[in-house]
Chains A and B, each alone.
Chain A
């Protein structure tokens, strides 16, 4: 490297780079705090299933709501298929903590429970799992958010909190 060679960084640009790095640190911290202190979680590997038999054997052969602690704790086993969720109507009491276990027996689907943080890709062979607590009464649609074929647009269900 000759004497003439050097990184020309304008003082303004130096400050700009500092500001950019600072911003990123703030964003990363916010996301980390939200994820690990407030419990906003993304799906993570739960279980593998065989999409060819999942509709006839195991928990998704009888999909639906399971009551673990009455009024408090529930599990919802939902089977996605072209072009419906089984079941497509679920009712839980106010205050219920519901864990969703969703899988598909054919192609990929989406599972987005409106006005909650439940948003999952449903992949054949995998089990998508997330938990949410319903503190207020109301009706939430769960809609298929991944293109899954001809009648994808009509694929949805409703969850009622009462």
Chain B
């Protein structure tokens, strides 16, 4: 720990670049949200957008890729850069390495964007082969992922240098959570990296004639579910390590917070088959094993719920809240940074319940590939994650720029609540219409099989989606107005690191040691995936030529 270390302007600028690309991505990606939602409600605007945008599916691809992959990855790598250097109170060990990672992500984004905007890659963000995108789409995504790896390596080198300077000191919690996020991400993305490098790139370049769609799905979902935890864990870093302070209290349990993060490292990856319950090429026994493992990742989520709510109760009571629930009212709801994260948590409660439903092996048959699923993941990635990131932005952008938030807390709060209300309407309608059997990823306005009883819910999809669009653009406006303000009130913001009720030095040693947990993670991966991967790879059949079908 360097005495009097302060995050420099150059470092703030570097983090700011991450946020800039994140916000641009989500601003463009979100343009298509209301188009899809209104299409469901019977108002198809896509014909008016030709030839700029060819179809619903091009829009849906841009929506998924820019929001779920690009916005998240840029925001997360930027935010975690700050939690690394600020928490460790030292600069990045190799700033140039991180810069290389970042610019590789930018190049990857551009390389992905070109074929997508030209309608040469309307394959959605899951890009299931043998639907074939232009090779540059796969190459660009690879560069984004590898760039994020390199930024992660930069964090590890920084941590390693700090550890040598500070033997025996507990890793600061926010740094610790960020490191686990990146390590988990590097395990997780081995799946999609293998899929692209060994199958999709050579195939789209014409070097091999066909592909094996079943094996590709297995590779993809090796990455696809932990991807959700890659989005979620940085929000948890804020919920555990910052929100208690922002709410006026302390973290309830440092050791259980760390324990939960370790469980996420251990359990986030070996459960991808729960996305493949209806796949023909995966034996039922393996699906069942992954169902049980998916349930087990529910445990650190429950730990998180307890610790975060207990920390909030501590804060609320300190602020004078009385009675069984009076502490909730006493929380600083007027602060958009807090209200955004509280509402994110409330929505995530319902996302968690839906997640248990999806994970339930055979109950999944009712909802698989229906509108229920996007209804569900808008409560996770678009609520727990995105709404938290919005709240984080409301202190992070002023911190990075030194400029006071460009609007009043009241206006920022209206933004937060607008997103919340839109999400409640949209997500509830999607869940219901999915239960009634509506497929996901389908322009339902064109579908000839829509029963009358769906129409009221589809109308609500349109209404909710439109309200969310307003909420998103209020966010983009607030961030832009703050960042580019010419006349502004200068502010000095402290990074809101929460204290723990118990001194972190009292947290047991084994919760701050990497090797045993890494060994455990690899072992569990080998058990949960090894035999099936071996089986599917040794029976590979690259016989599906596929093509462009949009």
Query: Which residues does A use to contact B, with CB under 8 Å?
Result: 1, 4-10, 12-13, 16-17, 20-21, 24, 27-28, 30-32, 34-35, 40-46, 48, 50-52, 82, 106-108, 110, 112, 114-115, 117-129, 141, 143-150, 152-154, 156
Contacts and interface: CB of A to CB of B under 8 A. Distances in A.
B295 interface: yes
Interface in B461-508: 502, 505-508
Contacts of B370: 112, 145
A127 B130 contact: no
A17 B300 CA distance: 10
Nearest to B507: A5
Contact of B280 (A20, A32, A121, A149): A121
A34 B441 CA distance: 29
A125 B213 contact: yes
Contact of A6 (B508, B539, B547): B508
Nearest to A30: B360
B449 interface: yes
Interface residues of B, number: 77
Contacts of A20: 298-299, 302-303
B437 A123 contact: no
B368 A107 contact: no
A114 B437 contact: yes
Nearest to B502: A8
Interface stretch (B140-148, B252-260, B396-404, B406-414): B252-260
B128 interface: yes
B288 interface: yes
B306 interface: yes
Given A106-B549, A125-B214, A41 B284 contact: yes
A116 to B, nearest CB: 9
A126 B281 contact: yes
Interface string B264-303: 0000000000001111111110011001100110110011
B314 to A, nearest CB: 11
Given A42-B277, A107-B547, 4 more contacts: A13-B310, A20-B299, A52-B543, A117-B362
Contacts of B276: 121
A69 B549 CA distance: 40
A106 B252 contact: no
Contacts of A108: 128, 130-131, 213
Contacts of B439: 110, 112, 143-145
Given A42-B365, A121-B278, A153-B446, A17 B506 contact: no
Nearest to A53: B543
15 contacts: A6-B508, A8-B254, A9-B256, A12-B306, A13-B306, A20-B299, A34-B363, A50-B543, A117-B362, A120-B280, A143-B439, A145-B368, A145-B369, A145-B370, A152-B441
Contacts of B252: 10
A156 B252 CA distance: 54
A6 B509 CA distance: 9
